[in-house]
Amino acid sequence: MLKVVLIGTGNVARQLFPALQGSGKAQVVQVAGRNPAALSHFSRHTATGGLDGIDPGADMYIIAVSDAAIPTVSELITDSNKLVIHTSGSVALEALAGPHRKGACYPLQTFSKDREVDFREIPLCIEAENKNDLALLRDLAHALSDMVLEVSSEKRRSLHLAAVFANNFTNHLYHISHELLDREMLPFTLLLPLIRETAAKINQMPPFDAQTGPARRDDQAVIRKHLQLLENQHQREIYALLSNAITDTYAKKL
């Protein structure tokens, strides 16, 4: 059984902890972090401690903190025999500072504190400096997920960028839609079948082929009407930018 210290108490750590504990391959012997209140979530299940008291006896140290904090936190593990991995999609392996062995395991999913996810359905993108550590990481990742890929730091950065477009930016558009419907006292649930069908279609066809709507048709009359309806300048700018991008894309391809 692999002894693991999980460093971090945020959304990723909260979801990763039960997945590790239930994997049959790893035992989280400690969760370490800066926030005592956040650590209390884990203290019922394992040992907890501050960053100044990280357990030195583990086999693997998983850093699930903000990207900016990864170099500083990784320096706290000074034993060259230990394997230290981070969970970031946009941080290169070289950001891990210190003499220890280095790796990465990026779970490609959106995490919220109070919403459970099934780790078996989450792609895990792994990388390590040497073959032995890569094999170890692959073995653990397969115990957590049905989809494990070896992805370099460079490709992982591009993957993270694609994920931001597909998830974070799209979710902001949901937020704008929610605001527009609130203004008219209409429920956001009216859009849920449309959202589900849009997501389902790309299981069967490329997103390029699935595109519909006024910008896809270059229907400038409808686009102008929509822009007139938008009172918020921020929303108007986003609508115009995306409409132009879609129209230009299809004008060039067709």
Residue-level pLDDT at 38: 95
User: What single string gives the DSSP state of each residue in 34-58?
Assistant: S-HHHHHHHHTTSEEE-GGG--TT-
At residue 252 the predicted structure's pLDDT band, cuts being 50, 70 and 90, is confident
Look at residues 131, 151, 171 and tell me which one is the last residue of a structural domain: 151
Q: How far is CA 249 from CA 39, 102, 112, in A?
A: 48, 41, 34
Domain C-terminal end among 151, 166, 192:
151
| Structural domain count of the chain | 2
Q: What is the pTM of this model?
A: 0.92
**Same domain, yes or no, for 181 and 94?**
no
91/71 Cα distance (integer angstroms): 10
Could you list the residue range(s) of the whole structural domain that residue 205 is in?
156-253
Write the CATH number for 50. 3.40.50.720
Same domain, 161 and 119: no
Residue that finishes a domain, picked among 151, 184, 218: 151
Indicate if 83 and 161 belong to the same structural domain: no
For the stretch 24-69, pLDDT in tens is 999 999 999 999 999 999 999 999 999 999 999 999 999 999 999 9
Same domain, 32 and 123: yes
- Look up tokens 């991008």; give the residue: 245
Calpha distance 54→68 (Å, rounded): 20
